[in-house]
């Protein structure tokens, strides 16, 4: 084991939902030749789209959302997913300001440790331009046969992680008097926007349809950040003929009942949101 690994305060364990979905994708892709949708995005994607709901409408759906997945890492995943043996009709990306921050070591650490694609960890480490990523890459080399910690998250099939909790009483008490954020330093990062351009190009080359989805947000979400992201995304979507489905404020979704924390939908929220998404896309 390299000494460098011991120095780092930023480690990701081998295992967890990313490990499981990566393994599952390998098998699923070889088992089924055609996939309707592969979803990318951060934890809001991982916990916000239930492939079983889409599957019940005949849509073969794989959720490749991973914890804190940045746009830079999403572009590497897109490249690898589109190079897989199976055919993919559509790539969906769950859009949120958090994915557009250029510094994304949490996601990098998780993916370097757990992703099954052979070249992806090297590219992710290289793109991060951070010594800690190289360190994690070394850990991956040297600990390939180490123990896998599967964690306690409720991992379902096809990449979905569900959370059945309700919003804490503390947060529910804050809702009536919550003051929206009006100030923010957020602007979509340059590297992230370049990565998004790469994803668009990759999808065009492979004739894969790209859709951008904004899943419901709670009352605690920063509207300022979301609007700054939309200012950039909308012209990109329009000029590249990409569907941008904005369900940030969806009828029937309430912070108190459909979220389990400030950012993530609980399973009740997922059911409402996924059904609305299906209805909209069917109508289209």
Partner 1 sequence: MVFQSWNFIVFLFVVIGVHSLTRSHWRWLILLLASYFFYGLTGWAPLILLWVTTIWTFQIGSVLGNLKDQSKRYRILLVSVFFQVGLLGIFKYLGFFESLIQALLHLFHQPSMAQWHHFILPLGISFYTFQSMGYVFDVYYKIRKPEAHMGHYALFVSFFPQIQSGPIGRSKKMLPQFGNIPNLTMGQFRFYCTLFIWGLMKKLVIADRLGNYIDPIYSQPSAHGAWVWSWTLALYTFQLYADFSAYSDMARAIAGFLGIEIPENFLYPYKANNVTDFWRRWHLSLSGWLRDYIYTPVLFAFKKYKEGAIVLAIIITFVICGIWHGPKMTFVIFGFTQALLLLFEYLTKEKRAAVQSKLPTGFYQSFSVLLTFITISFCFILFRAENMSETQTILSEFSNWSMAPFKSYLAEKNLSRLLGIILMIVMFVLSEERVEKKLRSESIAPTWQTLFVMMVLVLIGIAGVLGKDEFIYFQF
Q: Which residue has the tokens 């939908």?
A: 265
241 makes contact with partner 1 (CB under 8 A): yes
> Site map for partner 1, 183-202, x if CB under 8 A?
x------x------------
Query: Which of 253, 254, 257 has its CA nearest to residue 275?
Result: 253
Q: Which residues are within 8 A (CB) of 84 and not within 5 positions of it... i.e. 6 or more apart? A: 25, 29
- For 56-164, list the strands marked E by DSSP: 61-63, 87-94, 154-155, 161-162
Distance between CA 202 and CA 117 in Å, rounded?
Answer: 17
Of 148, 244, 271, 278, the one binding partner 1 by CB under 8 A: 244
Nearer to partner 1, 122 or 220 (CB): 220
| In the complex, minimum distance from the CB of residue 265 to partner 1, in angstroms, rounded to a whole number | 17
| In the complex, minimum distance from the CB of residue 207 to partner 1, in angstroms, rounded to a whole number | 18
Distance between CA 95 and CA 134 in Å, rounded?
Answer: 28
Name the 3-class secondary structure at 189.
Answer: coil
Of 83, 149, 227, 275, the one binding partner 1 by CB under 8 A: 227
228 makes contact with partner 1 (CB under 8 A): yes
93 and 40 in contact (C-beta within 8 Å)? Answer: yes
Of 23, 32, 83, 235, the one binding partner 1 by CB under 8 A: 235
275 makes contact with partner 1 (CB under 8 A): no
Question: Which residues lie near partner 1 (CB under 8 A)?
Answer: 176-177, 179-180, 182-183, 190, 224, 227-228, 230-231, 234-235, 237-241, 244, 249-252, 276, 283
């Amino acid at each position: 084991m390299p000494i460098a690994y011991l120095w780092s305060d930023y480690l990701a364990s081998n295992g967890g939902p990313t490990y499981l979905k990566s393994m599952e994708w390998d098998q699923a892709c070889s088992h089924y030749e055609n996939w309707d949708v592969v979803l990318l995005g951060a934890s809001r994607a991982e916990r916000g789209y239930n492939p079983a709901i889409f599957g019940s409408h005949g849509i073969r759906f794989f959720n490749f959302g991973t914890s804190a997945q940045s746009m830079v890492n999403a572009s590497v995943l897109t490249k690898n997913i589109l190079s897989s043996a199976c055919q993919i009709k559509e790539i969906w990306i769950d859009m949120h300001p958090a994915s557009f921050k250029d510094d994304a070591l949490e996601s990098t650490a998780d993916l370097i440790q757990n992703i099954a694609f052979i070249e992806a960890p090297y590219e992710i480490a290289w793109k991060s331009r951070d010594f800690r990523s190289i360190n994690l890459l070394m850990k991956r080399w040297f600990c390939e046969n180490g123990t896998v910690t599967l964690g306690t998250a409720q991992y379902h099939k096809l990449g979905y992680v569900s959370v059945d909790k309700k919003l804490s009483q503390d947060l529910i008490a804050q809702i009536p008097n919550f003051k929206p954020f009006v100030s923010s330093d957020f602007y979509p990062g340059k590297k992230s926007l370049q990565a998004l351009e790469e994803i668009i190009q990759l999808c065009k080359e492979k004739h894969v349809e790209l859709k951008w989805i904004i899943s419901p947000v709670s009352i605690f979400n920063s509207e300022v950040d979301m609007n700054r992201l939309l200012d950039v995304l909308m012209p990109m979507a329009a000029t590249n003929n990409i569907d941008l489905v904005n369900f940030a404020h969806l009828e029937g979704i309430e912070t108190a009942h459909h979220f389990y924390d400030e950012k993530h939908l609980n399973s009740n929220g997922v059911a409402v949101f996924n059904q609305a998404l299906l209805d909209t896309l069917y109508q289209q």
